[in-house]
Structure 1
Amino acid sequence: MGSVVSVLRRHPAVVLALVVLAAVLALMVAGQGVVAQWLGTGFVVLVVLRTSVDMVRDVLRGHYGLDILAVVAMVATVAVGEHVAALIVVVMLTGGEALEEYAATRARAELTSLLARAPQVAHLVLGGSERQDGEPSVRDVPVEEVERGDLLLVRPGEVAPVDGELVGEEGTFDESSLTGESLPVTRGPGERVLSGAVNGHRAVTVRAVAVAADSQYQQILRLVESAEDAKAPTVRVADRFAVPFTVVSLLIAGVAWWASGDPVRFAEVLVLATPCPLLIAAPVAFLGGTSSAARSGIVVKGGATLEALARARSVAFDKTGTLSVGRPTLARVDAAPGFEADEVLRLAASAEQFSSHVLADGIMRAARDRGLRLGEGSGGQEHATHGVAATVEGRQVVVGKLAFVRETDPTAYPSGLGPGQTSVSVAVGGRFAGNLVLVDPLRPNAAATVGVLRGLGMQEVALLTGDQLATARSLGQEAGVDRIEAALLPEDKVRIVGQMAHRPVIMVGDGVNDAPVLAAADVGIAMGARGSTAASEAADVVITRDDIGKVVQAVDIGRHTYRVALRAIWLGVALSLGLMVVAALGYIPAVAGALTQELVDLAAILYALLALRPGTRHPEVLESAATDHPVAVGT
């Protein structure tokens, strides 16, 4: 109810039109017909003038929409004294716009309740004081007021508000808000904690090394905002009918006037040409579609997104956490001659203590699971997107991509990889020591999802990932995608999606690193159950269950809704045209025409409500019942 009131507050024209209509009807009942006509006519003229300004601006931009038909209908009905019919057109015009916004507002409200995770407040540690519970005394301040060097308390389950360095004991952090990965990472004293990372089960203290505006989280959000601003506007489905319907209506009315010689006949036809079915049927259908999607764990941000889903002809997927399960584990160690597998793993894990990469935790966890003691390292340095180098027990250890390790030993060679596997190369003391092979398997229903999407008309299915080509190729081939692009940065994904030929393009991903391309795509779908707030805010659709098969359901709901909207519009147009022909022959007076037109509106609206029904069910893409339940966001 609150969202309805909020929308009406932003659209006072709807309330004003209803008040004027009620006042006109009351005056007519009271026998004050002249006053009622002056009031109604004056109000409609004001609306016509305001709408005409917007219409001219749209026409100058090359956009011809419903405003043309609405202005013609209002002018024609006022010209023949049918001020009540004109007021009804005003109510439908303003009400249709408000209803569309209500659908978008409702979807965003549901999304906000699930994903409101962006850090807004920081706990500033006050010097020299401690509470009785052992926790330092703090003062809450807006995150924008944090300065470099400030000590901040991050409580269990909270999001790090700015980039900082860990002070005191080590802590465990979920960096899914930055990488889209669900594996937690352990940070020691002096190590970097990025904004957007979620603290584990123990309160920690960090020293701010950047203000909010310069932190990792905000930098990516700015890239999302710029990509969002570059998005082309979507034309409403009803707008495509406006000009032809207007032309046909004027033609029928003109022929009726010419054939009968009576100008009233012209008005009688145009009373039945009011664009109410166009104005209201599509918003009602799209509202039904967003409601149907929400019940299925799919949050859709507005009717334009449903229309784009219905017309989509390409889809691109991120790999880790989207097509794959997103939980890399060690499969084997391929040690080079002269090295023992456990020693290679132990030294690599020791060096990975200095890395923030998602694979580092899997390597360290594997070493601990084997009972290996990690060595103390020094001089650790992470080379972004390449790997890490550190001195461990007096030996230089280099861990990372094969090309990075080859800079130390050109004889380093790759390991054979199976589906879903990736490798991390290791050099010890200047010599190639072997490869650690990790596996992140394909989701059980990923291949079925790709197959069904192709059957639904997707002309291109792509895999876009920052991972190495060999891993991407094996997993992409297993999933059945057409195009595989690997070793990509976020800006590379934005560029590739922008260049895809078959449009509209759907992009599916998770994590802040996917947020820019989700915003730039025609339809961005975020896997919100384990993904990041930034990705979900940037996306047009958020899937709140950890199930890639929901992508198929989102497309199907979009197509079902779009079909219902089109049929509702065609129903209204067909009935209106038929009645216009009857009116052209002189059988429907203006007042009766206005009342009859409302029955046409009702028929179109009732048909549009069919969008509330679920679309086609595709059992082949559904995961088991155990994985089809809602997952708590941010876990």
Structure 2
Amino acid sequence: MRRVFGLLGRYPVITATVLIGAAVLILESSGQAQTARWIATVYVSVVVVWTLVGMIRDVLRGHVGLDVLAVVAMVATLAVGEYIAALIIVLMLSGGEALEDYAGRRAKRELTALLDRAPQTAHVVRRVGDDEQVRDVPADEVQVGDELLVRPAEVVPVDGTLLTEEGSFDESSITGESLPVTRHAGQEVLSGAVNGSRAVHVRAVKRSADSQFQQIVGLVRDAQESRAPVVRLADRFAVPFTAISLVIAGAAWGLSGDSTRFAEVLVLATPCPLLIAAPVAFLGGLSRAAKAGIIVKGGSVIEQLARVKSAAFDKTGTLTQGHPVLVGVAPAPGFDADEVLALAASAEQYSSHVLADGIRRAAHDRGIALRPAAEAHEAATNGVTAQIEGRAVVVGKPSYVASLAPDTTRAPLRPGQAAAYVAVDGHFAGVLVLADDARPESRAVVTWLRAHGVERVAMLTGDAAPTADAIAAEVGITDVHAELLPAEKVHLASLMRPRPVLMVGDGVNDAPVLAAADIGIAMGAKGSTAAGDAADAVILKDSLAKVAEAVHIGRHTLRVAFTAIWIGIGLSIGLMLVATTGVIPAVVGALVQELVDLTTILYALRALGGERFALDGAGSAGSPGPARVPDGEVPAQRAHAAE
């Protein structure tokens, strides 16, 4: 009963219309038809005035909508004495809001599921001697370094590292991976992951607000609150549909000489299918994308994805796996290979570039201890400088290092390899050679995009030309722009034709071009927060195939939205033509229009499903691992170095 009253309170116009409709029917059945007519007329007139006020406000904002048809239909039915039909039109319009609300909640199920699962409480462990004390605190009060207890089936509250020897976690709500993953002591555990069947201990490495799941929740809220292109879709049909409806109704009146015929036609021309079906379809598309591990920031992005004609990709971490492996160290005369690696890795502690991670891992694998820096500074996309044990160490691009160490000489590289140049105290110290393989699915993604209407595919990268060319050839891209600064990427993306242009990247230096492109997609599984904030969509699973799937979902959603609109228009016009003969009374027509609404809404919900996406050939484009080069040697092909 409480739920019923809650629904009635949520939709007061529906409640009032039902009550007045019941009173009108009772009065009419008791012989008080005149009183019933006056009550209905006054109530419908109030609704008409209220609707007109809203229409005037919309017109002043430059928006001409479809409510004019509903207003004309209500006025016409009152004018010819069909006051019950007028009440049904009011009920239909207000009921459309309830139907849209229900369908919207159904379509947003995956989005709201993420919000509902946001962790609220954390179990903080305090150790006093051999005793272990557990205290519950709000998740947003957890501090970096806190030890947390995560019980079976609980959600991990913040990003952390696993202290327990082993644990199993369900990360499906974060990465889209359906199977549980096993983590070992020292490995990262993401917030939002659901713990398995045993309690584990985790060391917090981020606060709640900075953790992966809370960032995803923020993106979801943005997606829910954004204005979808639904109104624009409806507006495209508003004027012609209104004109056609009025022409049909006017012709019926003129040919028959019966003004009632005008009202009988217009009750079948109410705009609910156009106003409701499209929003439901776009919400369904957003929900389907979220379920696939793609957070899309609004319905307008869905529409743009459906229309994409050009695509541009960053290289490192996007088309490639983003795990560069050190394959050789070529020290300059007077320097030792291990010493060069130790100084470079120590300086790279202060860099966020993907090559820096490969250099640090190589030092760790060789048992080389990293040294602290008295001072460090990173020049974005160029390199890093650091004062280490009184020595000035520079690691980065050859041009950057050469500007500080004029004796720098470039190293020959094999295709697909990158190099970090090192200078110490103003003298060239050597080259670190790394290799980063293409993702196994990259070629299949490029092939799929071309096969599905994307006319131009390009690579925009800051890496050196030979390295970029080698990866581009491997994945099937011929339009390559290398050695770009972030501003140059933005400029080239703005010049790309045809449009809309899709840009895919993962790093901090990709944030400007992701924001500038028509559609920016960030590889958020490993990418930076800056890239995710700047992008229009974020891929939560570390797979480039999700880019093609996002385009697939966008096209399916837009197709469903347009089809639903055309179903509503087609049924309405067909019924209006039948009504010109006078065989559909106004009351019956108003009820039939409700069935048209229901039909279009049910069809619009097809955006939640559709054909299962499959990337033909994904995984077939893998390449062998990087060849290791002995220290002191470099490969025999001349090339520039990557950043």
- Give the TM-score band, short-chain normalised: 0.7 to 0.9
Picking from 590, 594, 600, the partner of 2:586 is 590
Contact 1:96–1:283 under 8 Å retained in 2 = no
**What SS does the corresponding residue of 1:614 show, helix, strand or coil?**
coil
Equivalent residue letter for 1:558: G
Q: Is the 8 A contact 1:390 1:398 kept in 2?
A: yes
1:269 paired to 2:295:
no
Note the C-alpha offset of 1:105. Answer: 5.1
CA contact (8 A) 1:422 1:438 kept: yes
In 2, Cα distance between equivalents of 1:39 and 1:418: 86
**1:42 shift after superposition:** 4.5
Instruction: Give the C-alpha shift of residue 445 in structure 1.
Output: 0.9
Q: How does 1:529-568 map to 2 (within 5 A)?
A: 529-531=525-527, 539-568=535-564
Report the equivalent of 2:91.
88
Alignment CA distance shift 1:419-1:68 (3 Å):
farther
With the length of structure 2 as denominator, give the TM-score of the two structures. 0.71
Q: How many angstroms does 1:246 deviate by?
A: 0.4
Paired residue for 1:64?
64
Between 1:465-474 and 1:255-264, the stretch displaced more is 465-474
Return the alpha-carbon distance in structure 2 between the equivalents of residues 610 and 141 of structure 1: 39
Deviations 1:27-77 (A, max 9, x none): 244345756655555454444444434433443444333334444444444
Contact 1:322 1:527 in 2 (8 A): yes
Over 3 Å counting, the alpha-carbon distance change for 1:612 and 1:120 in structure 2 is: closer
Q: Partner letter of residue 89 of structure 1?
A: M
| Contact 2:76 2:263 survives alignment (8 Å) | yes
- Given that 1:92 and 1:279 are in contact with CA atoms closer than 8 Å, whether structure 2 keeps it comes out as no
1:611 correspondence with 2:611:
no
Residue of structure 2 aligned with 1:484, choices 481, 484, 498: 481
Distance in 2 between residues matched to 1:484 and 1:518, nearest whole Å: 16
Q: Which residue of 2 aligns with 1:446?
A: 442
Equivalent position to 2:378, from 380, 383, 395: 383
Map Cα deviations across residues 350-380 of structure 1 (whole Å, 9 max, x no partner): 4434545443332132123234x44756544
Q: 1:575 to 1:130 in 2, by over 3 A?
A: closer
Question: What is aligned with 1:313?
Answer: 309
1:280–1:605 contact (8 Å) kept in structure 2: yes
Any idea what the Cα deviations from partners look like across 1:60-104, whole Å, max 9, x if unmatched? 444333334444444444444322332233225434663575467
Q: TM-score, normalised by structure 1?
A: 0.72
Give the SS at the match of 1:272: coil
- What does 1:284-299 align with in structure 2 at a 5 Å threshold? 284-299=280-295
* Structure 1 residue 303, shift from structure 2 partner: 4.1
Question: For residues 608 and 228 of structure 2, what CA distance do their matches in structure 1 show?
Answer: 28
What are the Cα deviations for residues 410-452 of structure 1, in whole angstroms up to 9, with x where unaligned?
Answer: 2323334455532210123432222112222221111211221
CA 1:14–1:483: 2 relative to 1, 3 Å: farther
What are the superposed Cα offsets for residues 565-601 of structure 1, whole Å, 9 maximum, x if unpaired? 2222222212221221222232322122223323333
Relative to 1, partners in 2 of residues 1:363 and 1:533: Cα closer, same or farther, differing over 3 Å?
closer
Q: For residue 552 of structure 1, give the secondary structure of its aligned residue in structure 2.
A: helix
Rounded to whole Å, the distance in 1 between the matches of 2:260 and 2:306 is 43
Aligned pairs (5 A) from 1:452-471: 452-465=448-461, 467=463, 471=467
Query: More deviation in 56-65 or 320-329?
Result: 56-65
Q: Is the 8 A contact 1:514 1:535 kept in 2?
A: yes
SS of structure 2 residue aligned to 1:330: strand
> Matched residues in 2 for 1:357 and 1:41: separation?
71
Count of matched residue positions in the alignment of Structure 1 and Structure 2: 562
Shift of 1:453: 1.2
**In 2, Cα distance between equivalents of 1:347 and 1:588:** 87
Deviation at 1:323, TM superposition (A): 2.3
Letter in 2 for 1:585: T
- Please list every run of 5 or more consecutive structure 1 residues that lacks an aligned counterpart in the other structure: 124-128, 162-195, 625-635
Displacement of 1:251 in angstroms is 0.7
Distance 2:336 2:553 in 1: 55
CA separation in 2, counterparts of 1:414 and 1:63? 61
- Give SS of 2:63's match: coil
Partner residue, 1:244? 240
Q: Give 2:178's aligned residue.
A: none
SS in 1 for 2:616: helix
CA distance in structure 1 between the partners assigned to 2:110 and 2:508 by the alignment: 21
Relative to 1, partners in 2 of residues 1:274 and 1:396: Cα closer, same or farther, differing over 3 Å? closer
Contact 1:310–1:556 (CA under 8 A) maintained in structure 2: yes
3-state DSSP of counterpart to 1:506: strand
- CA contact under 8 A between 1:543 and 1:550: conserved in structure 2? yes
Distance 2:561 2:553 in 1: 12
Q: 1:322 to 1:74 in 2, by over 3 A?
A: farther
1:252 is paired with a residue of what secondary structure? Answer: helix
User: For residues 533 and 583 of structure 1, what CA distance do their matches in structure 2 show?
Assistant: 58
Q: Which runs of 5+ in 2 are unaligned?
A: 149-155, 161-190, 192-200, 621-643
How far, CA to CA, are the matches of 1:45 and 1:541 in structure 2? Answer: 46
Counterpart residue identity of residue 382, structure 1: H
Does structure 1 retain, via aligned residues, the 8 Å contact 2:18–2:91? no
Equivalent position amino acid for 2:309 in 1: R
Percent identity among equivalent residues? 51
Cα gap change, 1:25 to 1:391, in 2 (>3 Å): closer
CA contact (8 A) 1:73 1:89 kept: no
In the alignment, is the contact (CA less than 8 A) between 1:421 and 1:437 conserved in 2? yes
Tell me: CA distance 1:346–1:246, structure 2 relative to 1, closer, same or farther (3 Å). Answer: same
- Give yes or no for the alignment of 1:601 onto 2:604: no
Match of 1:334 in 2: 330
SS at match of 2:611: coil
2:552 partner SS: helix
